[in-house]
Amino acid sequence: FLCLAAKASPVAVGTMAERESITAVDFGSVPWIMRKLGVTDSGMTKTDTANILEARDFGSKVCIPRAERVGNNLRRLEPGEDGTINEITKQKVVGELYPIWGTGDVLGLSQFDPLFGNAWLGEFGLGVSLYFSTLQLVGMLLFLLGLINLNVASYFNSDEYSGGYQDPNQNGYDVPLNAFPLSVPGLWEISGGYRGTAWCPTKEDGLGSAGYKYGQGDTREETVAWKAGFDAGSKETLSYRDCPFNQKQANTDLFTTIIFFLFIMALEKVQGEVAEAIDEAMQTAQDYTIEVEDPGENDKDPWEWKNFFEEKFGPVTAVTVGVKNGRLIKILGERKAMLRSLNMIGWTNDKDDDFIAEEARTQLINGDKLDEGLLQQTHEVPGWKQTLQGFGLLQDSACACRKLDKLNQEIKENCRKKVEAGGAEPARVYVTFELEQSQRDCLEVMSVGSILALLDIKKPDMFVKDAHKDIEKEFKGNVLMVTQAPEPEDLLWENMDVEPIMVFALSMLYTTIGACIVMVLGGIVIGLTFAGQTALAGYTIAFSNSALPTIMKTLNSFEPHPTVTQQQGSLLFKLVLARWTISAIVVYAVTCIREFDSWATQPKIAGIMNIMIADIFVSPMIRFFTGLKLPQRFILPAFAKTQESANMLYTGSPWQLAERFSDMTKTLFICFFYSSLVPYAYFFACGALFMNYWCDKYMLLRRWQYAPKIDADIVKTTRMHMALILIVHNIITLHFFAGWPFDEVNHENKYDIDGAEAVDNYGATARNFTDCDLDSCTAYNAAEKELWGRGLFIVFSSRGYFNKDQETAVFMYQTMTIIMVVIICVIYFGRSNFNEVFKLFVGVPQDTTDVARRPADPEKEYFMKGEEGQSIKSTASDVDWNAYIPEINVPGLQFTQLATRLPEWHKITFTMQPPQDIEAAREMLGKELYLATKKITISEDGDVVAETCGTAEAQIVEAKALANGTYTNVKLEFNDVLPKKEKAKDSEKAWFTENNLSWTANKHLKCLNAYGDAVPATYRQNSLYYDPILSEFTKHMLFSRCMVFIAPDRQEVEHMHEVRKSEMMNGFMGTTSDIPDGPPAPVEEAQVDDVNLQFAEEGTSSVEMSPPFAPPSPAFDGGIPDVMPPPPPAAASFDGGDGGIPDAPPPAPVRRPSGNYAEEEEAPVEEEEAPAEEEEAPAEEEEAPA
């Protein structure tokens, strides 16, 4: 089914016309089941409040990963981002679905194909790409190991081991395999399903008593006399199994172990090199940024941090001061999610049961104290229902309103305390340098051990280069704890205000709770095993493995880790511990304690095989059908009360990369734990990984939610787990071989006794002994083969019951286990422990790799003609880095929420009729244009200036102004093209560009505002800073601040756009366009007409656009181009290349409008000389009314 679905998925097609016909997903008509539920053919629900087809379209554009072709590669589009505009046809290239059955090479890993053939999955993060490649590699290796172990399976099925009783074709006795879904008792069964396993047949295993002849031992398990018992007059007997251990078992398994060990070492080297190559090939913010973990409580000014680091290590590009407001932004996000939920259930609809009076809604939206009487007017709740609601049952909109009111009061109290304390204290500071070498020099000098930083002890000079020893290492007398910063997407800003010791304490608490849950589930498995319900125990294990991720993720969500990587690491530890314990350790421990001699019996082998088969089918299918969300997509949308609630039903399922890695290691753990008993375990594990690969790949590209990118650290941890699995395998196999064949006698010592005495002492039971008749009997010494209970672990002396092969095998495994423990501890634990100790007392280990430089090969990434060999600057146009801008993901909200003030990047100017009442006109425009009234200025002559945040918001305002026939001279232009100056007006406010944000606003995407209106999902609508509940507070005292000081070079931006345009032409048209070698030379004003004429005559894709930011032509179908023309820049900024940049580069040389640029050049100078103004007024950032 998965393969058919993959082949049926849309993939890249040859011609551009075919590509233009591709939509994100072709949903077709309304499903019949929805029509039965009252949905019309047009998609409208029965209540006429939501359109199902529109909701499906939302799911396809926002929730399903899409990409655009760049040559032969795929570039991942952000949620809601449109594809590139084709400059020739003026048509928007719709993002295509990622092909499930296919490969790509975005990250330049073609040299590793086919082993790393899914390189384009790196667009989802290096961790995701390595996860799928690891599944491929391990799966292929397991298949090879399975072929090698067929030698052991053949021995188990031979007469020498099992007397041929495993093969029904040889003796006529059949013990079929009953393991769903491979077989179902009473319907279909697999004949001789236990052939090739360690099963030692007995007459109780269905072989039939008719074939058992006295004294001949037709089966391999027999009853023998115990010599010690005979001497003592005891009448006890012992089990005897004639299934001897053979040296080929040890040789084959040891060879398998060595191969897997070498594979882990090779994987460590190859994946490490790949991760390093990708890290060096892709320049990100982390390569230029340091993190200060212990700023002083008054060190809030980004300018002070900039000046401190800049004068020591070189130009600073950006500084973010993250404050301790984690709880505040978390509950602000919860408040916004609750308002959205109330709007979705219809609290504004007076015909709905959940209707809330408008006055009560206004109080809750503004954050005022809720008047309980207003709720009682619309919601009279009987006493019995109130009682149940107190226990969380029968909740309705009134209950949600009370919770929201309580949350509002907490928000206000939190803000009040922070303002009274002089503002939120700094928690972290992120300093981004212009050069990578500056970051490394800073880490060498400023990075000190945690203990030294705590005691304010400077870094010893012996760890600092001579050239840097004179650099001052203190900031205002504080020895800073400086480390390399994580990626911006890796940060969890809502956990900034939690101290590390509290993070550790909470992690221990919830890990302990998780361990208790595992113990309970383990008890259930033990009970079922003792009851003989091995198949049910196997499925309980499979279902537990499916439920444990949800349980552990819930527990893990209460741990306030500062980064996603640490959060995933904690979850991975819990899941690995839980799954390994449930899947193997519990069953093994119980069996060793209660019935060690049952390992070779048919029920025990059946239980092991049931666990493995369930791991192949049950777990992936549960994950697959749960992820499809069939009820949410085909039934519940018909009952949606609002369009927003219908849209939410088509969002993807959440997932965790740690969960997927733990599932893979769980499969490996089960395989290697029992492989010495079931040689086919390698094939079972290979099948499980095959199912996981295709199931997870399909879900990732079609059903799962977008997840933050995870780096290679989690892959390192998984490789360490694989090494631990190998050690566990050696120890368990050592004990299995030492206890073979799991009976109670010493096969090496037997005694002949008189038959008459045997009859006198054992009576009639003597006839049941093997090799016993009226003349003589054979008795044996007893042997205790379970060694754990005797305190024997790895090193122990040879046992008296060992045969020669056993003695050799045990010694080999003891030696190999010790060697592997030493090597793995040195390679994994030794290196990591050394690094941790080094961080405690010295600081961050130095990066010994070369800094990134411009290559000389034009075919390589980051080539720039004329700059070969130069360091790549963080401000370069081809370095796509996100700034450290605070944002959080809130459950219940579909877009990432920004947690800082937004700059006004653009402004819309137009002329209206002179208003009689300017304030009334501003209020009217605010409602019409979706803007706060403080962002609108109206002169007495009717000249209007509307400041906006982001291109999407600017285009919405521009389109609305153009649509109003009474407005004239509508123009969109940049409002602030230069970074702030230290002494300039408003220099204390945040400043960054749209390119520095982690997601792209799109005017076609909708979200609900606080009043229930579906408005465009702009940055302002998805920023917690503009929540109306904060209007009474000085907001910049509550939020973190990001300041970008250096903007990328304007001409480089133009050049990179020309390169990208040429690549797109090559990819879509199959033509070869000339790619510029370097940035264009400054274009004189008089040359623009000639340039445009030349482009028009050649028929290239360049288009003259005048005036700047004109509304899109009908050919664009109302969409937002990925590339916008530039604003009218200051002459110095354009010609000198040292000014600001537009949020998207221009498509070609564009005619600049005439005007007096001298005045624009003067403006920054005047601002620089102006003194800093007073703190921003609390009412300045009021929430837009719609």
Distance CA 287, CA 293 (A): 18
Q: Is the dihedral of CA 282, 287, 288, 292 positive or negative?
A: positive
- C-alpha–C-alpha distance, residues 322 and 496, integer Å: 8
Q: State which H helix or E strand residue 518 sits in.
A: helix 500-530
The per-residue pLDDT for 213 is: 30
Dist. CA 397–CA 375, nearest whole Å: 9
pLDDT lower than 70: segments of the chain:
1-28, 70-73, 79-94, 102-120, 122, 167-192, 202-237, 279-281, 379-381, 383, 385-386, 389-394, 466-468, 470, 534, 538, 750-779, 974-978, 980, 983-987, 1047-1186
Which of helix, strand or coil describes residue 800?
Answer: coil
Strand 968-974 to 906-911 pairing: antiparallel
Q: What is the pLDDT of residue 182?
A: 58
Contact call for residues 166 and 156 (beta carbons, < 8 A): yes
What is the value of pTM for the model shown? Answer: 0.75
CA count, 13 A, side-chain hemisphere, 793: 5
Q: Quick one: which of 1111, 1010, 1125 has its CA closest to 366?
A: 1010
DSSP secondary structure letters along 981-1045? PTTSTTTTS-B--GGGSSS--EEEEEEE-TTS-EEEE-TGGGBGGG-GGGTTS-GGGTS-EEEE-
Q: Tell me the C-alpha distance between 1159 and 767, whole Å.
A: 117
Which residues fall within 8 angstroms of residue 814, CB to CB, at 6 or more apart? 734, 794, 795, 796
Q: Which residue has the tokens 């220099």?
A: 987
Find residue 423's DSSP bridge partners: none
pLDDT of residue 37: 85
Closest CA to 934 of 1078, 818, 1074, 1035: 1035
What is the CB-side half-sphere exposure of residue 416 using CA atoms within 13 A? 6
The one-letter code for the residue type at 742 is F
Question: What pLDDT sits at residue 932?
Answer: 79
pLDDT at site 1085: 33
Instruction: Provide the pLDDT for residue 16.
Output: 28
**Rounded to an integer, what distance in angstroms lies between the CA atom of residue 1119 and that of residue 1101?**
19
Q: How far apart (Å, rounded) are the C-alpha atoms in residues 105 and 119?
A: 5
Sign of CA dihedral 381, 387, 390, 392: negative
CB 44 within 8 A of CB 50: yes
* DSSP annotation of 776: E
- Counting every residue written for the chain, the total comes to 1186
| Whole-number pLDDT of residue 684 | 93
pLDDT at 289: 95
For residue range 526-541, what is the model confidence (pLDDT) as tens digits? 888 777 776 777 678 7
Cβ contact 351:339 at 8 Å? no
* HEC readout, 1072-1087: CCCCCCCCCCCCCHHH
Looking at residue 674, what is its pLDDT? 94
